[in-house]
Amino acid sequence: NQTEVQRTAEKGENLKAAKTAKEGLSAIQEAIAILKVFYGRAARATVLTQASPVSADTSGPGFEGAYTGNQEGSVGVIKLLEVIKSDFERTVQDGAERG
């Protein structure tokens, strides 16, 4: 009887962990997609120059060119998110096998 109670409790924990992992997996997939789109667009960014009558009097905005994001750093971030994604996938799979 106690074994049955323990198994029921473990099954509930496994289902809860699988649900949490599915939610995490969904969020990570969305984050990866958003970052890939952002850095893809940022790499192709262009600058629209506007002339100002006072620009000759100032040193300018303090930057040059379009903001393209940290393209090199984005690779590491996306790779890290993909590792986390595979961890969530494994947790979901384990939960399905146990549940």
The answer to whether the beta carbons of residues 39 and 74 sit under 8 Å apart is: yes
The percent of residues above 90 in pLDDT, for the chain, comes to 36
- Domain span holding position 48: 2-98
Q: Give the count of domains, the chain.
A: 1
Candidate ranges 7-16, 17-26, 52-61; pick with highest mean pLDDT: 17-26
Prediction pTM value: 0.64
Reduce the DSSP state of residue 50 to 3 states and report it. coil
- Do you know the residue count of the chain? 99
* Rounded-to-integer distance, Cα 43 and Cα 80, Å: 20
Query: Which residue do the tokens 């924990």 mark?
Result: 13
Give pLDDT tens digits for 34-43.
998 888 877 6
